[in-house]
Amino acid sequence: MIKQAVILAAGKSSRFWPINQKHKSLTKIMGKPLIFYTLKGLQEAGTSEVVIVQGPKKDVEKTLSFYSFNLKIKYIVQSKPKGMGNALWQTKKLLKQRFLVLNAERVNVGEVLKKAKIEIEKSKQEGILFGQKTKTPELFGIVRFQNNKVLQIVEKPKKGKEPSGIKIVGIYILGQKFFEAYQKTKKHTYDFEDALSKYIKKNNVGLIILKKKEKEALTLKYPWHLFRVEKYLFDKFLEAKIEKSAKVSKKATIEGKVYIAKNVKIFENAVIKGPCYIGEESIIGNNVLIRNYVDLEREALIGANSEITRSIFQKNVHVHLNFIGDSILAKGCRFGAGTITANVRIDRGLVKVVALKKKIQSGLKSLGCIIGEQTKLGANCSLMPGVMIGSNCIIGPASLVGKNIKDQTLFYTKFKSIKKKAR
């Protein structure tokens, strides 16, 4: 098995706005950052050395200092976000023979590597790429190949002109000759792809196609992709357990696979239907309904008569008398009483989202709101499907939010008084 791996965790995560105040791999699911699951997967697959490229904040290193791994981990700082190629180049002196390259949020890399173990060990090729079938080749880098040998990667080909139906999954096994190709490549943000093309042309690079029944190597390009990552982690790791220090009312109902962490309080007539994770020090009030793939990180406060479904709350989120569906709330968010998320279009079509000033098809029929850190919403606000609100915003009471709101914005709906003529 490949003994060395490079984890890339230094980018701005700009496509992950509004929950990009820190690197996206530090988003927590079930009490642990996503990069934790990536490292555990590498460890289980037989990797022994990992080089992590992080940004100047060193937030990845600080976060991981609270966890232990049976891995030799070294950290390198990429001072400026100059792209994947530049990040990888800085690890050159630490790498020997073939090495693995992947993004920090590839939580199922261990499963992918274990299933491809025999093919990897048999292969004597300079490098190996991983691919998978796709129905939308126009959205990805598509591989031209012959007899499992990579000939070319065509980025986002026009419909009908794709070289195959196999997209490149962002897990790479590369050899030292990649650095020779990179050294001869003109430097820019996306020079990794250019260097990879040169590398493929001059070297024998193999292709392993992941089978249909195997899980996709999960990507985390946009924030709503967190839902499929959460589902994967819940299905694989979530256990039904109530910690001894948790206080659960005898009148509360707990059904299915539900994990209730230390010092949680659950009051009368609350109903929790798994799979669900309730983090440490959280409080679940009277008559609350929590159901179906809800992840509440520590210190969540779900006030009386709220309903939460298929949503992810980061640390210290407080809501009261709300319906929140298919939504992601970052650390420290507050919802006033009566504020609700609309998570389905009135025509039941796919929800579109505006990201980086472009309208993007989310591929989801149910998608509520995505809200950044420390944002507060007043009472009786209404949020339309697919709306994203930045960090440190204040949304005035009774506001209708139908479009994205930038970071640090005060937003409220203006009301005009209507005078009726006396009869």
- pLDDT bin (cut points 50, 70, 90) of residue 217 is low
pLDDT score for 134: 86
Residue with tokens 């798994």: 274
Residues 49-78, mean pLDDT to the nearest whole number:
96
CATH code, domain with 50: 3.90.550.10
Task: Give the structural domain span for 323.
Answer: 233-411
- pLDDT bin (cut points 50, 70, 90) of residue 154 is confident
Task: Tell whether 62 and 188 lie within a shared domain.
Answer: yes
- pLDDT bin (cut points 50, 70, 90) of residue 421 is very low
Q: Averaging pLDDT over each range in 101-110, 149-158, 304-313, 354-363, which range is the top one?
A: 304-313
Task: Tell whether 297 and 207 lie within a shared domain.
Answer: no
Per DSSP, 366 falls in state B
Task: Tell whether 15 and 161 lie within a shared domain.
Answer: yes
- pLDDT bin (cut points 50, 70, 90) of residue 423 is very low
Q: Would you say residue 132 lies in a domain?
A: yes
Read off φ and ψ for residue 371, nearest 5 degrees: -130, 135
Task: Tell whether 201 and 247 lie within a shared domain.
Answer: no
Is a pLDDT exceeding 70 seen at residue 418?
Answer: no
First to last CA, the chain: 86
Q: At what angle do helices 34-44 and 226-237 cross, to 10 degrees?
A: 50
Task: Tell whether 254 and 187 lie within a shared domain.
Answer: no
- pLDDT bin (cut points 50, 70, 90) of residue 216 is low
Computed from CA positions of residues 164, 165, 168, 173, in that sequence, does the dihedral angle turn out positive or negative? negative
Task: Tell whether 29 and 142 lie within a shared domain.
Answer: yes
- pLDDT bin (cut points 50, 70, 90) of residue 170 is confident
- CA angle 107/143/88 to nearest 5° reads 50
Per DSSP, 287 falls in state T
Q: Would you say residue 421 lies in a domain?
A: no
Task: Tell whether 197 and 263 lie within a shared domain.
Answer: no
Q: Would you say residue 259 lies in a domain?
A: yes
Residues 157-167, mean pLDDT to the nearest whole number:
89
Identity of the amino acid at 418: I
pLDDT score for 320: 93
Please provide the DSSP assignment of 70-139 as one string. SSEEEEEE-SS---HHHHHHTTGGG--SSEEEEETT-TTHHHHHHHTHHHHHH--SSEEEEEEE-S-GGG
pLDDT score for 415: 58
Rounded Cα–Cα distance for residues 398 and 377 (Å): 9
Residues 395-420, mean pLDDT to the nearest whole number:
84
Average pLDDT, the chain: 92
| 101 within 8 A of 174, measured Cβ to Cβ | yes
Hey, what long-range contacts does 362-367 have (CB within 8 A, 24 or more apart)? 362/222, 362/224, 362/386, 364/224, 364/227, 364/326, 366/310, 366/325, 366/326, 367/224, 367/326, 367/343
Rounded Cα–Cα distance for residues 313 and 322 (Å): 14
CATH code, domain with 255: 2.160.10.10
Q: Averaging pLDDT over each range in 61-75, 139-153, 403-417, which range is the top one?
A: 61-75
- Report the percent of the chain where pLDDT is more than 70: 96
Read off φ and ψ for residue 28, nearest 5 degrees: -100, 140
Task: Tell whether 137 and 270 lie within a shared domain.
Answer: no
Q: Which pLDDT tens digit goes with each residue over 352-369? A: 999 988 999 999 999 999
Q: Which pLDDT tens digit goes with each residue over 255-307? A: 999 999 999 999 999 999 999 999 999 999 999 999 999 999 999 999 999 99
> Which stretch of DSSP H or E encloses residue 237?
helix 226-237
Q: Is 355 helix (H, G, I), strand (E, B) or coil?
A: strand
pLDDT score for 118: 80
Per the structure, the count of domains in the chain is 2
pLDDT score for 214: 47
Is a pLDDT exceeding 90 seen at residue 122?
Answer: no
